Chains A and B, each alone.
Chain A
Amino acid sequence: MMTLADVHVGDALPRRAHTASNVSLFLYNAAVWNPHRIHYDEAYTTGVEHHPQIVIDGPLQGDWLSQCALNWVGDSARLTSFSYSNRKAAYLGETLTTSGTVTAVDIDNGRVTIELFVENANGEVTTPGVAVLQFS
């Protein structure tokens, strides 16, 4: 188990790569009941909405960001607040990587703040985020 004493400002969270597939995007959009065609209909997405490829869901990238924090801390703390912003579209075929850095450790209140990001293969951040973890 991780303790608050183990956490320091500047600590880097493990990097994890995600490469969405047609199947994984289908399953995600079915699971969240999202019928938006830009996530599964290539002809519509490129021909009508003029994206270069099927769009990887912004909230899916948000979930990956939350996992970055949760998998790092395990059951040592709980996620109490989390935010992300979809800044740049990501497309089927891209490999996206999540990671983050501890930016604040509040010893008195048992809280750790992490700045998170999803980046593409060019190192461009598609989705920045912030997580606050509460240690017991």
Chain B
Amino acid sequence: MKKLLTDEHRAWIGQAEPPVTVEVSRRDIIKYSIATEQTQRKYLVGDEAPPMFVFNLFGPMAELTDLRSDGLPKGQGRGPRLPLQRVMAGGTEIHLHRPIRPGDRLVATRSITDMFEKQGSTGPLIFTVRTLIVTNEANEPVLDEIQTSINR
């Protein structure tokens, strides 16, 4: 199989993006809770964020002119341009240290921790593994997450 990942791609492994700070609002928790069909009142009224609320919370806020034809951002700060452009979520492993509540100011640092190739049933796949570490303003751990995305 022809290798798709080059040394230039792999050079991204270990590089951390600049920290991103997000202030959590009750309204954003409520929006997420409704959209994900939560049933517990503490989530639906926004007293606490559901654990998966952090998905893409620290993602780039690209302007419309900076979106690709598939709608995704053009990759600022998210890693190298890959030879396979169609991307899907691959999975997540998350360790939760304390709940997220409205008013929390969260600081996230993300880095690419691995990149590898596999042959899928419909063709080659590139897996990118990112580690996200989130603390609060007191520098207390909130969560850490390992996310895998798949380009095909």
Establish whether residues A83 and B93, one from each chain, have CB atoms under 8 Å apart when the complex forms: yes
Instruction: Count A-B contacts at CB 8 Å.
Output: 105
Given known A-B contacts A82-B94, A84-B91, A86-B89, A70 and B51 have beta carbons under 8 A apart? yes
Q: Does A136 contact B (CB under 8 A)?
A: no
Q: Mark B28-44, 1 if CB is under 8 A from A, else 0.
A: 10011011111110000
Verify A57–B94 contact, CB threshold 8 A.
Answer: no
Within 8 A of A (CB), among B27-68: 28, 31-32, 34-40, 50-52, 55-57, 59, 61, 67
CB of A89 within 8 Å of the partner chain: yes
Does B70 have its Cβ within 8 Å of any Cβ on chain A? yes
With A35-B71, A64-B37 known as contacts, the answer to whether A59 contacts B94 (CB < 8 A) is no
Across the two chains, which residue of chain B brings its CB closest to A26? Answer: B35
- Check if B71 sits within 8 Å of A84, measured CB to CB: no
**Residues of A contacting B99 with CB < 8 Å?**
78
Which of A49, A64, A83 gathers the greatest number of chain B CB atoms within 10 Å? Answer: A83
Q: Could you tell me the distance in whole angstroms from the C-beta of B94 to the nearest C-beta in chain A? A: 5
Size band of the B side of the interface? 35 or more
Whether B96 sits at the interface, judged by CB under 8 Å, is yes
Q: Are B36 and A67 in contact (CB under 8 A)?
A: yes
CB atoms of B39 and A71 under 8 A apart = yes
B133 to chain A, nearest CB (A): 15
Residue B75 interfacial (CB < 8 Å) = no
Task: Report the separation of the CA atoms of residues A60 and B56 in the bound assembly, to the nearest whole angstrom.
Answer: 12
A15 to chain B: which residues have CB within 8 Å?
A: none
A58 touches B51 (CB 8 A): no
Task: Verify if A81 is at the interface (C-beta below 8 Å from B).
Answer: yes
Question: Which 10 pairs from chain A and chain B are nearest by CB?
Answer: A58-B89, A85-B91, A83-B93, A27-B35, A35-B71, A63-B52, A28-B35, A37-B71, A31-B31, A59-B55
Name B residues whose Cβ lies closer than 8 Å to a Cβ of A: 28, 31-32, 34-40, 50-52, 55-57, 59, 61, 67, 70-73, 86-96, 99
